[in-house]
Amino acid sequence: MVWFSDEFFAIHQWETPFTQAPEICVEILSPSNSSAEMPLKRALYFGAGAKKVWQCEQDGVLSFYSPQGPIEESELCPAFPQRI
């Protein structure tokens, strides 16, 4: 799952796949995800240009990350709830 701005879409439009990661990438965890693989996935998203990564646990709790590590909220969407 991803979110991208109008500016991102103006550049990339209907590329398949995108040549750059959108601004926000959301990883929805499932039983098949290991906790060890999550830092690697985040690093891949950031390496591809993502500005923020959101991680949604199975219970709906969200964690937000910048390239520097965990953050309290995503300033791209500061009003987004901590749990969905």
DSSP annotation string for 67-80 = TTEEESS-TTSTTS
Q: What's the CA gap between 72 and 31, in Å, rounded?
A: 25
pLDDT in tens, 5-16: 788 778 888 877
pLDDT at 12: 81
CB–CB of 45/53 below 8 Å? Answer: yes
Q: What's the CA gap between 13 and 29, in Å, rounded?
A: 28
Q: Tokens 């987004």 map to which residue?
A: 80
Q: What's the CA gap between 7 and 63, in Å, rounded?
A: 25
Q: Tell which wins on pLDDT, 19 or 21.
A: 21
pLDDT at 2: 63
pLDDT at 1: 55
Q: What is the pTM of this model?
A: 0.81
Please report, for the chain, the start and end positions of each structural domain, with discontinuous segments joined by +: 2-8+20-71
pLDDT in tens, 26-72: 998 888 887 789 999 999 999 999 999 999 988 999 999 999 999 99
